[in-house]
Chain A
Amino acid sequence: MHTPNFSRLLLQAVTTLALVMATRTALSAAQAADGPAPGTTAVPAANTVPGFRRDVMPVFFRAGCNSGTCHGSARGKDGFMLSLFGFDAAGDYRRTVEELPGRRINTAVPAESLLLLKATGAVPHTGGRRIEPNSDLARTLLAWIEAGAPDDVGSIPDVTGISVSQPSLVFEKIAAHENLHVTATYADGSTRDVTTLSLFGTNNPGVADVAVDGRVTAKGPGDTAVFARFSRFTVAAEVIVLPSDQDFVWPSPPENNFIDTPVFSRLQKLRIVPAELCDDETFLRRVTLDLAARPPTIEEYRAFLADSSSDKRARKIDELLASEDFTDYVTALWGELCRINSQDYTGRADSHKPANAFYSWLRDQIAADRPFDEVVADMATAVGSTNTDGQTGLYTMLIKDYRLNPKVLAADFSQLFLGVRMQCAECHNHPFDRWTMDDYYGFVSFFTCVKRKSGSDSRDRRVVFDPTAAPAMHAVDGRPVPAKLPGAVEPVAGTGDPRRALAAWIREPSNDLFNRNIVNRLWAQLMGVGIVDPVDDFRATNPPANGPLLDALATRFAQHGRRLRPMIRDICNSRVYQLSVEPTPSGRNDQRQFSHARLRRLRADVLLDSIVAVTGVPRSFPNAPAGTKAISYINRNHYYSATGDYVLDTFGQSARETVCACDTKTDPSLSQVMHLLVGDTVAPRVQAAASSGVLRKIIEENPTPQSVIEAIFIRTLARRPTPDELQTLLQLLQDGKPEAVYADIFAGLLDSTEFLFNH
């Protein structure tokens, strides 16, 4: 039975609905040619008051007002400060409207507002003219001021994400172009075209350029990413500019495993022909250096070259993975990243004993090929004595000062194990990725509860969990931010040590941040450059060179239970890893797509160990026992040099002062050349080898000059000499004493670029 009221309501509802439908239809008919419907565009509709957060702050962003070089800098500019990219809307309103009433905003005579006059360049402005006087941006500001410059009332739906109209662009010709559109999604589910309010950028203007209106133009062949930014979000679009397809024939190379497929697929798309497979000599030297950090011995060489089985490369990989040398090397690499070094009796946390304990513990984990997520989880949740419980080493080696600063710990942990530089979000939201200050302080709060107390002796520290510790305080409003995983909304549940929640998250097989970071580092170590480069800088504006490849590796890594050896085995067994360094003509300019192997100078420590191995003359290191390899050497005495040994310094060894992968340098220098030629590393060893060592043995055991020279080549370069080389060197023997000439050849090969490089 309908009551009269109900009928009236029903009638009203139907009428309203009909009206709305009619209006919408009319509007969309009218707007079909004009563009998006009103209310969904960047420009506020004519009869609505622009909102401060929704409309005015995007103008500050788009016009560059709140960028880091202008008013968004820590101290502002010329007396006016805005929060960087607008992370503090309430503060920005206060500073713009209320700090100096009547000056920046003049609601009595809106056109006189300094905000407008300066932005349009009508009065002297250090930043110049940022917006055109009659533009939509200027009109938005004016309309807002005319309405009295009101603040937002109540809560305003926040932007929850942005997307670009085309996440992947492929251009066939130079100068071709496409227009990108950016759509923002809000917390109330609404969407909005914000192309005219976004900022654009490109990673490689030589390949593709993007204009302020979002137009992407192809500039040169290659691949790169362009990105759009709005609010605190950044999103990238892949751009491929194809070279001309004349003479391009895809050779359809064989694929060894799941790695080759995405690499070759992308190369085919980019019209790059991959290099040929490297020969056996090259493969043996490369894989031995990469897995055992030394050149192959003569016996290994002869055995491998004599082996005619079809799976000899796979078996060689397995053999090296099972060796102690491999364990030493991987331990050295992670030990370097975790900054293991020490000084004795400093009264701080980095005495020799804790450093040794950490190193031993780490080596044990690597030797057992323990799932790497468990290794990291153990380090994260460690408590105990630094002298005896090696897994506490992270808390002593990353923070060597007296004071354990949780912010530094959090930043280092994130950079090492997640590949994310979270520290950018300490003072403002991360400018180029989705991490907010909440994410940062929530992450720091995992570590605010860790304390180091005095231990049993002056070298020892007890790492303890302090349940009374307060969480980190947010920089803007000082509120405590309880421990929270990056990207999560709620803090971690439960009481007690929040590091357990962090460890549990690391151990989740689906933890993409962790998986991608680790496989990318493994890949970079073996291939010379990561799929994401720099390896410890994953962010939206630094996308992977080959997304499907990274995803495939990460998935496989999880399937392997996050063990390192199976993953490395897969990479080394791929055809991509075994390609020659010689590029094809179409691959000549390729730096990032793995179309050919990269020339990589040996690390300083590997180089030193290689010289020792080849010459057979050992090397001692300060404060280290005899027989210590350079890769296993830990700096015990920082007063002497950055790494503890001046030769390692000279060749760019990391001084372990930060967790950055960039600390290891392989750049050339004159000192390096001089040291090799006249320093005490090569020459005395060659002398010793010649007088009573390996060189003498080679000369004695080989009947002909050819076989002597051949043996020297195999020992140093793991290959036979070419006929030309042989002929040239045999001629030298005519002029001088054979022993001296052989010694010169030996030294010359050790000094050669070929020896210094992994190819």
Chain B
Amino acid sequence: MPSLRHRSTLAAFTLALLTASPTIPAGDEGRPAENLTTWDDNVAPVLRRTCATCHGDGKQEAGLNLASYAGAIKGSGGGEIVVAGRASASRLIQVLTATEDGERMPPDGDPLPPETIALISKWIDTGLRENAGSSAAVMRTLGFKAAGPAADAGPAAVPNSLPPVIRTPTRRPYPVLALAASPRAAVAALSGFGLIDLVDPATRQSLGTIDFPEGEPLAVNFSRSGRLLLAAGGKPVRNGSAVLFDVASGKRLASVGDEPDAILAADISPDEKLVAIGCTSRLVKLFSTEDGSLKATIDKHTDWVTALAFSPNGKYLATADRIGNIHLWDGQTGGVILPLSEHKKSVRALSWRSDSAVVASCGEDGTVVWWDVKDGWPLANKPNAHKDGVLDCRFGPQGELATCGRDGTIRVWSANGQELKAFPLAGSATTTTATATATATTATTAANASTPAGVRLLPIRVIIAADGKTVLAGDTAGQTHSWTLP
């Protein structure tokens, strides 16, 4: 792989394609001699780009889902749309080439160019190959071994001499859309434009950077042992996937999910065997980290899945959506357990207390709720925790909860729901601007960069570090702020 890449959209997109589907890590697997036309390499990108809105995971017009190979083979409610070896008899080609307005696909906009249709026809005629490996579906292995509780022992992973990453110049710093704290080490991960920065939570000094060519990470999470970092995101409306990295070396270990839109929420199970992702398709998908296969799909949400989190003991998976509904599922199988209904507007974040007995949720209706997961009872409900909306909530190791909201403040709540501290974003003592711009200076501890008139500075994410005392927040101007709890 060349180390210098063009940051054009096309290149990024192609790159995302190559890395988005489950691949064998590190080292090259020899490419077959012939140039095969396959679903993975040739057909899927086209169909996803053109057809996914109506024939994808979110919506299946005529019962047809072209987001996956299996869906394309299965066809629509009317039957098969591709006949192996006979493009002329395949309904897919018929609608792509139809001239009548009512018959042609796509129904709006320009028809596919003839070369593309020829490519798809070739794919059909040469036997509907799924990938370059073989004509039969194979188990793709990632060579990834989940580590169980044994990983909890031993020293916590810290980044060690990560390779340098070329940062794309941006006009101004990218907002900090995702933030996570290692549960055992003094490491925090925050998202940037096409990369993840690892920093020390207290000093905000950089510990390394990890490349994320898929796009912008919208969710980052450390595994329970702290040895793995999960980053999920992508390019809005174009692609989305979740990637597992080794914290110490920064190496890419596995990648799951191949969504037509950036993934909004993701988490890794405590036993490191499952990754759950939540999407704009309203689906929650559970993937195996060992072979990348889809283990379960949850379709109960009726709007975008905005947050999800495994409980620390692995028993539960909590998922939340844009309408305000939260559901509790079995953390292994995805079976339904309980609904948690309280929020009137979008839920922005979910966080588990370390004893797995309580999960906290917060949302745009301005409330923070502490739930007892035994029976789904809201133990504490704090309305107007932040006026106009609570953007994030995160438990610290000792059961205190940090929140941030649209009122521009960060608040810390005690284990029984009392407000302990409130920190205004503006005028915080220590601030760092992420080194993302070509024009901006490198990381400094200067006072806040002034926000231009008419633009509101909002804290989007907040965490409490493993030491239980450091509060770190990221904002819409790409800055991080830290405070120390007494």
Contact = CB atoms under 8 A, between A and B. Distances in A.
A107 B53 contact: no
Interface string A97-110: 01001110011111
A148 interface: yes
Given A108-B436, A121-B109, A150-B453, 17 more contacts: A79-B303, A102-B476, A103-B236, A107-B172, A108-B173, A108-B175, A108-B193, A108-B478, A109-B174, A117-B237, A118-B237, A123-B236, A128-B108, A129-B109, A146-B171, A148-B455, A153-B454
Contacts of A576: none
Taking chain B's interface residues, is the majority helix, strand, or loop, or is none over half, making it mixed?
loop
Contact of A150 (B174, B280, B455): B455
A109 B236 contact: no
Contacts of B304: 79
Interface string B303-345: 1100000000000000000100000000000000000000000
A149 interface: yes
Contacts of B177: 101-102
A124 B177 CA distance: 23
Which among B170, B173, B236, B280 has the greatest number of chain A C-beta atoms within 10 A?
B236
- Which 10 pairs, one residue from A and one from B, show the smallest C-beta to C-beta distance? A150-B454, A108-B174, A108-B170, A151-B454, A123-B237, A102-B175, A124-B53, A153-B454, A148-B452, A101-B175
Contacts of B174: 102, 106, 108-109
Interface of B: 9, 49-50, 52-53, 108-109, 168, 170-175, 177, 193, 216, 235-238, 260, 262, 280, 303-304, 322, 406, 436, 452-456, 458, 460, 476, 478
Contacts, number: 77
Interface residues of A, number: 30
A178 interface: no
Contacts of A112: 9, 235
Contacts of A124: 49-50, 52-53, 237, 260
Nearest to B456: A98
B123 to A, nearest CB: 21
A101 B458 contact: yes
Nearest to A107: B172
Contacts of A734: none
Nearest to A111: B9
A153 B453 contact: yes
A745 interface: no
Interface of A: 52, 79, 98, 101-103, 106-110, 112, 114, 117-118, 121, 123-126, 128-129, 146-153
A132 to B, nearest CB: 14
A148 B172 contact: yes
A153 B452 CA distance: 11
Contacts of B49: 124
A112 B168 CA distance: 13
Contacts of B280: 79
Contact of A101 (B170, B237, B460): B460
Nearest to B454: A150
Which among A98, A108, A118, A121 has the greatest number of chain B C-beta atoms within 10 A?
A108
Which among A117, A124, A151 has the greatest number of chain B C-beta atoms within 10 A?
A124
B370 to A, nearest CB: 25
B172 A108 contact: yes
B26 to A, nearest CB: 30
A276 B50 CA distance: 64
Contacts of B237: 114, 117-118, 123-125
Contacts of A129: 109
18 contacts: A52-B454, A79-B304, A98-B456, A101-B177, A101-B460, A102-B216, A108-B170, A108-B174, A108-B193, A108-B478, A109-B174, A112-B9, A123-B236, A123-B237, A124-B52, A125-B237, A146-B171, A152-B454
Contacts of B52: 124
A153 B456 CA distance: 11
Which among A79, A107, A121, A147 has the greatest number of chain B C-beta atoms within 10 A?
A107
A719 to B, nearest CB: 55
Contacts of A146: 171
Given A79-B322, A124-B53, A152-B454, A114 B172 contact: no
B456 A151 contact: yes
B169 to A, nearest CB: 9
A102 B303 CA distance: 20
Contacts of A148: 172, 452, 454-455
Which among B50, B173, B174, B478 has the greatest number of chain A C-beta atoms within 10 A?
B174
A148 to B, nearest CB: 5
A106 B238 CA distance: 15
Nearest to B53: A124
A109 to B, nearest CB: 5
A123 B109 CA distance: 12
Nearest to B48: A124
A422 to B, nearest CB: 31
B392 to A, nearest CB: 12
A756 B238 CA distance: 66
A110 B170 CA distance: 9
Contact of A128 (B9, B109, B235, B236): B109
A106 B478 CA distance: 12
Which among A79, A106, A129 has the greatest number of chain B C-beta atoms within 10 A?
A106
Nearest to B453: A153
A114 B436 contact: no
B223 to A, nearest CB: 25
A148 B460 CA distance: 17
B101 to A, nearest CB: 15
Contact of A114 (B9, B236, B260, B476): B236
A146 B237 CA distance: 21
